[in-house]
């Protein structure tokens, strides 16, 4: 890799390169400065499994990217006008400014667009202000930076790449920093990453031995670091460091990230490699990818139809205007009410007349201006406000509050709230999602002997294993139930053959891990607790188990560990470690024993371990262990296999040489290290196996059962053994005894295809009624990962996302994915709705999700209550917005037909402007936030009611066309009733404007009131308050002398015919809609209507005694 391919960080010299070849490095840095200005996208794909290549490396000139000169207003307007509707209404406003097309007043024409932009900008400005306030507090924090050979205080925002930073215990790390030295002689630093990924366990980071002796204030440190370009992967880092002529490799264990906290370490010194927006924490703060609501997508399709309808109306008006002009072509100069000539000047000229062709074109554009609200711009802001209101109630719902983590539901994507009500497929992880991810050691199989007998938990005077250290008692923080027989054998020592096997097993559990023991004070000064901190709950459980049996891990450094074995303290040198990866599915540690021997200890998944165990040794022991693993898995326990062998001196030296070569490689380091590990991890002797219980979370079985009753297809995707997965499936009620199980375990593409075809045939036979009882049988598909690779033709890392993508591609159903780990991110982002569980595996899933919550069981209230309500409300609101705007436009259209197609409006321009902003908008938003078509009790008692969203009952093409038909009828009633009522009176058309305005506003609000199901005082205030506000506005407009229609409302309202006409219009307009509603409710009610009636009129005793019969056709 050339210098152009990497990021270079000059240690202790952020301004100039400090390596010997200064000229070359300066040229490279200049090139990096130019390249770093380019805007780049950073993929969230894990880089820990990839190498630094031309696409993954970048040269960055020293800079601080936190500052920006971009002002808020231009950026906000630019973002808002990404919406097509906003551009459409901007064009309409511009057209109305032209003299030939001026239908409304120029100020009034831009008011609706300005209002929408202002409301959105105010909301965004508030959020921007809060973000900047938080940023200012964060950026102005102080850190100790080396300047002129002494550490000085410097603001975080001023720290530059390459500067050396010193931080003390409990300090927050200001930037991504490679460790140079720590207060620990071995270079260990303990950090807490709770601010980064939510994990409270301490993690170990290490400084290189070559830099430990350096004192920045005294010693000149020359060198540079070549690393990856900035990326979001908080778990991966790959770099090399050249310092004082030495070439060193750097990995994730050598870097501490911004927002981490230094713990149990007095001080640490490091060099900044990523600052400002280039830090991994900042790159991850961008949130989840944007998704669009399915309902909004369908709404856009209907808007296209409305656009076609709008064009048809405009063409009809313009063509009719052209015919009228052609018919009266010779009379235009003398026709009353038509002004073709301008006689105000001595020289007579044409007055705004450009010929019939241009007049038709101008009429078309004017029609677009007059009928513009057929495309409901108010819907966009209404939907945004409604989603904010819905999110508030979801967040505040105590049914989704997790007391254990003190966390509430989080809305990270406000634009897909209503999708919760249409979910058909649910994809879930097991560990940490369905289970608590709090592991408890249960059983052990040691050299073919099963220890799963009677357990004791040390009640009474016995308080578990403890040791004496400097007159103090140290005991493990967590108690573990132990097997009495195994406990006694472990105390007997390794003098017998069985004792030696037990010794090796628990020594492996205590040593083969990355756990850090932390000594914690207790109220009793003579007693200390040892808290085992680590990144894996599995490892914590195993180390606690080893301590309970007398193998207590006391100390860990980068070079050795100390274990108290039955009261005798022993030191083991850690000569090397190959950490766990998803390809090998195991980890190994090379230990130097006190007697001088060297052994490799390997721990991993059984299917991975059995491939590297020497089957020529102890074949009967191997078979017995496999049987024990089978029995452990069948009851839902998670299993691990432990193996060990001794290394000879030549083999160890070969491994050490290969390991050093691979770890310092720049290109292909990950692959080389994996190859070294594979060459080492072979011909092992089996030591034993462990069984760990990961209990289901509270309410998981009931939640899955409810989801299945709601006709959702629940898919559980896990890396556990198949037997374990099946056992958990039964305990979680995903599988039941009356299900037919289809199991696919194939080892080739052809056999996988055959098995899949047989499974499809079986499913068709079971799912089609026709058996002796005439009922269908549920079918469960169980498929292993190897078969899935052949079927999906997808790599293992992408299986979860591949399954979700397959369902989305083959069906039109909504998908939801829920998980808690980094391996669930791709699945969460692929699904229509992604939910992250804030559990024990960090916050990477939460950061990539659309929504986050604390427990799986919260899916039930989220989907059944809020999802159902949100979908119903949003679907109704969209149809209602179409209706109220179309009624208004059609009244204008009918008026145009009676005024010579001159586009004189029947409603004043100010009423036209206020119609969508004031007269009708507030009730729509209030009802869409508060209305409930069913109670919580009904929705919980009858999960089948959720099917209304899956069947799109609240928004579909049928409802759309019925709404349009009803709109057409109501517009005819509103326009023609006053027209014929005042036909022969002295009231002209322009004087009826106020009557038409009030009639339309009264009608749409009464129509909304008829559809409200759950009334609240807020609903009453918004609907009837809007009607009162309209009356007040009409009066105010009519008392302003400069506006048209001065005093008209008082003249009209003084006559009884006005009130009779207004009342008659409302009754005549709503009769068809009311009749259809009554017919459907009494003759063909929906499941929701049945449940609502039962909930309203049925007594609690009756509801408890009998079940509501839902419509079979809707199940």
Active-site residues, by number, are: 429
- DSSP code for 422: G
Token pair recorded at residue 612: 């590297």
Tokens of 748: 């080739």
The DSSP code for 457 is -
Neighbours of 637 (CB within 10 A): 25
Residues in the chain: 1115
Which of 553, 551, 417, 414 lies closest to 493, judged by CA?
Answer: 551
Produce one character per residue of 1070-1108: b if its CB has 16 or more CB atoms within 10 Å, e if not: beebeeeeeeeeeeeebbbbbbbebbeeeeeeeeeeeeb
586 phi and psi, to 5 degrees? -160, 165
Six-digit token pair at 360?
């038709």
Cα 52 to Cα 230: distance, rounded to the nearest angstrom: 12
Task: Write the CB contacts of 415 (distance below 8 Å, at least 6 apart in sequence).
Answer: 290, 291, 292, 293, 296, 387
Q: Please give the sequence-ordered ranges of beta strands (E in DSSP) within 359-414, or none if there are none.
A: 410-411
**Cα–Cα dist 205/183, whole Å:** 12
> SS3 for 255?
strand
Report the b/e string of 867-886 with b at 16+ CB within 10 A: bbbbbbbbbbbbbbbbbbbb
The answer to whether the beta carbons of residues 640 and 610 sit under 8 Å apart is no
| CB neighbour class for 474 (10 Å; exposed up to 12, middle 13-18, buried from 19) | buried
Which residue, 504, 444, 498, is CA-closest to 628?
444
* Cα–Cα dist 674/658, whole Å: 11
Phi-psi region of 465 (alpha: psi -120 to 50; beta: other; left: phi over 0): beta
- Sheet containing strand 223-227, edge to edge, reads 7-10, 223-227, 239-243, 246-250
User: Three-state SS across 937-958?
Assistant: HHHHHCHHHHHHHHCCCCCCHH
Three-state DSSP class for residue 817: strand
Sheet holding 188-192, edge to edge: 202-206, 188-192, 261-263
Per-residue exposure over 191-213, b if at least 16 CB sit within 10 Å of its own CB, e if not: bbbeebbbbebbbbbbbbebbbe
C-alpha separations of 1087 from 320, 422, 804, 949 in Å: 48, 16, 30, 12
Which residues, in sequence order, are bridge partners of residue 817?
A: 427, 834
User: From CA 894, how far away is CA 885, in angstroms rounded?
Assistant: 15
Q: How many CB atoms lie within 10 A of CB 142?
A: 12
For residues 722 and 782, the answer to whether their CB atoms sit within 8 Å is yes
Count Cβ atoms below 10 Å from residue 653 Cβ, excluding itself.
11
Closest listed residue to residue 9, CA positions, set 223, 180, 258, 210 = 223
Rounded CA gap, 757 and 741, in Å? 15
CA pair distance 1059, 1069, nearest whole angstrom: 15
CA distance 494 to 565: 11
């Amino acid at each position: 890799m050339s210098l152009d391919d990497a990021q270079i960080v000059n240690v202790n010299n952020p301004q100039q390169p400090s390596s010997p070849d200064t000229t070359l490095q300066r040229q490279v840095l200049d090139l990096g400065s130019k390249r770093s200005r380019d805007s780049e996208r950073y993929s969230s794909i894990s880089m820990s499994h990839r190498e630094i290549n031309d696409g993954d490396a970048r040269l960055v000139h020293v800079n601080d990217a936190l500052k920006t000169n971009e002002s808020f207003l231009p950026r906000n307007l630019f973002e808002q006008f990404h919406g097509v509707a906003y551009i459409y209404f901007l064009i309409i406003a511009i057209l109305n400014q032209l003299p030939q097309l001026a239908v409304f007043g120029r100020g009034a024409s831009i008011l609706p667009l300005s209002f929408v932009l202002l409301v959105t900008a105010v909301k965004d400005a508030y959020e921007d202000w809060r973000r900047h306030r938080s940023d200012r507090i964060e950026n102005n924090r102080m850190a100790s930076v080396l300047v002129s050979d002494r550490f000085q205080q410097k603001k975080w925002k001023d720290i530059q790449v390459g500067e050396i930073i010193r931080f003390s215990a409990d300090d927050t790390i200001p930037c991504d920093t490679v460790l140079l030295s720590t207060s620990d002689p071995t270079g260990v630093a303990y950090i807490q990453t709770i601010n980064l990924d939510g994990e409270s366990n301490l993690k170990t980071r290490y400084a290189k031995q070559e830099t430990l002796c350096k004192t920045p204030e005294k010693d000149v440190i020359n060198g540079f670091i070549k690393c990856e370009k900035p990326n979001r992967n908080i778990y991966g880092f790959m770099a090399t460091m050249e310092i004082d002529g030495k070439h060193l490799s750097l990995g994730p264990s050598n870097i501490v990230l911004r927002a981490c906290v230094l713990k149990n370490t007095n001080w640490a010194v490091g060099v900044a490699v990523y600052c400002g927006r280039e830090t991994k924490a900042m790159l991850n703060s961008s949130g989840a990818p944007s998704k669009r609501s399915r309902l909004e997508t369908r709404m856009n399709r209907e808007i296209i139809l409305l656009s076609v309808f709008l064009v048809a109306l405009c063409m009809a008006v313009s063509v009719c205007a052209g015919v009228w002009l052609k018919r009266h072509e010779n009379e235009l100069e003398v026709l009353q009410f038509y002004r073709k000539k301008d006689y105000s000047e001595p020289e007579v000229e044409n007055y705004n007349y450009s010929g019939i062709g241009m007049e038709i074109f101008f009429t078309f554009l004017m029609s677009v201006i007059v009928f513009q609200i057929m495309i409901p711009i108010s819907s966009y802001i209404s939907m945004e406000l409604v989603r904010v209101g819905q999110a508030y109630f979801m967040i505040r719902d105590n049914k989704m509050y997790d007391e254990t983590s003190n966390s509430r539901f989080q809305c990270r994507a406000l634009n897909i709230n209503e999708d919760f009500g249409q979910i058909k497929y649910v994809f879930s992880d097991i560990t940490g999602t369905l289970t608590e991810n709090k592991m408890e050691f249960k059983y052990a199989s040691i050299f073919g002997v099963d220890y799963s007998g009677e357990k004791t938990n040390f009640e009474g005077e016995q308080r578990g294993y403890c040791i004496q250290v400097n007159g103090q008692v140290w005991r493990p923080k967590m108690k573990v139930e132990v097997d009495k027989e195994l406990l006694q054998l472990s105390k007997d020592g390794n003098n017998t053959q069985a004792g030696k096997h037990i010794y090796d097993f628990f020594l492996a559990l205590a040593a083969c891990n990355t756990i850090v023991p932390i000594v914690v004070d207790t109220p009793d000064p003579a007693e200390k607790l040892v808290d085992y901190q680590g990144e894996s709950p599995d490892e914590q459980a195993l180390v606690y188990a080893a301590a309970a049996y007398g193998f207590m891990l006391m100390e860990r450094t980068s070079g050795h560990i100390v274990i108290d074995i039955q009261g005798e303290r022993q030191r083991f040198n850690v000569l090397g470690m190959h950490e766990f990866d998803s390809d090998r599915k195991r980890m190994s540690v090379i230990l130097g024993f006190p007697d001088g021997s060297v052994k490799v200890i390997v721990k991993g998944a059984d299917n991975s371990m059995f491939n590297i165990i020497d089957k020529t040794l102890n074949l009967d022991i191997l078979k017995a262990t496999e049987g024990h693993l089978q029995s452990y898995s069948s009851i839902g326990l998670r299993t691990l296999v432990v193996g060990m062998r001794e290394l000879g001196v030549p083999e160890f030296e070969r491994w050490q040489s290969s390991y050093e070569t691979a770890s310092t490689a720049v290109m292909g380091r990950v692959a080389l290290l994996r190859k070294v590990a594979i060459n080492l991890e072979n011909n092992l002797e089996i030591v034993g196996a462990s069984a760990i219980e990961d209990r289901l979370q509270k309410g998981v079985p009931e939640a899955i059962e409810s989801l299945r009753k709601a006709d959702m297809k629940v898919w559980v995707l896990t890396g556990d053994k198949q037997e374990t997965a099946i056992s958990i499936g039964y305990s979680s009620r995903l599988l039941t005894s009356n299900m037919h199980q289809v199991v696919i375990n194939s080892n080739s593409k052809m056999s996988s295809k055959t098995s899949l075809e047989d499974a499809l045939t079986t499913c068709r036979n079971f799912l089609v009624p026709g058996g002796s009882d005439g009922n269908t049988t549920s079918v469960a598909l169980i498929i292993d990962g190897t078969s899935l690779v052949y079927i999906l033709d997808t790599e293992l890392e992408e299986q979860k996302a591949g399954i979700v993508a397959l369902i989305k591609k083959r069906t039109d159903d909504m998908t939801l994915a829920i998980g808690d780990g980094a391996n669930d991110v791709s699945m969460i982002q692929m699904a229509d709705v992604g939910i992250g569980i804030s559990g024990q595996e960090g916050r990477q899933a939460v950061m990539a999700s659309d929504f986050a919550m604390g427990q799986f069981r919260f899916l039930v209230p989220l989907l059944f209550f809020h999802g159902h309500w949100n979908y119903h409300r949003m679907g109704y609101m969209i149809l209602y917005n179409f209706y109220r705007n179309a009624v208004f436009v059609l009244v204008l259209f009918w008026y145009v037909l009676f005024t010579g197609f001159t586009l004189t409006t029947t409603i004043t321009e100010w009423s036209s402007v206020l119609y969508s902003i004031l007269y009708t908008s507030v009730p729509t938003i209030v009802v869409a936030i508060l209305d409930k078509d069913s109670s919580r009790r009904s929705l919980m008692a009858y999960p089948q009611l959720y099917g209304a969203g899956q069947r799109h009952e609240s928004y579909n093409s049928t409802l759309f066309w019925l709404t349009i038909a009803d709109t057409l009828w109501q517009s005819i009633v509103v326009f023609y009733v006053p027209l014929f009522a005042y036909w022969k009176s002295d009231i002209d058309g322009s004087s009826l404007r106020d009557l038409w305005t009030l009639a339309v506003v009264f009608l749409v609000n009464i129509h909304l009131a008829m559809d409200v199901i759950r009334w609240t005082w807020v609903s009453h205030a918004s609907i009837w308050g809007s009607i009162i506000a309209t009356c007040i506005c009409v009066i105010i407009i009519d008392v302003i002398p400069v506006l048209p229609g001065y005093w008209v409302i008082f003249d009209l309202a003084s006559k009884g015919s006005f009130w009779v006409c207004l009342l008659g219009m409302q009754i005549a307009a709503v009769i068809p809609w009311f009749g259809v509603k009554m017919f459907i409710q009494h003759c063909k009610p929906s499941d929701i209507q049945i449940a609502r009636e039962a909930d309203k009129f049925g007594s609690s005793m009756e509801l408890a005694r009998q079940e509501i019969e839902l419509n079979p056709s809707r199940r």
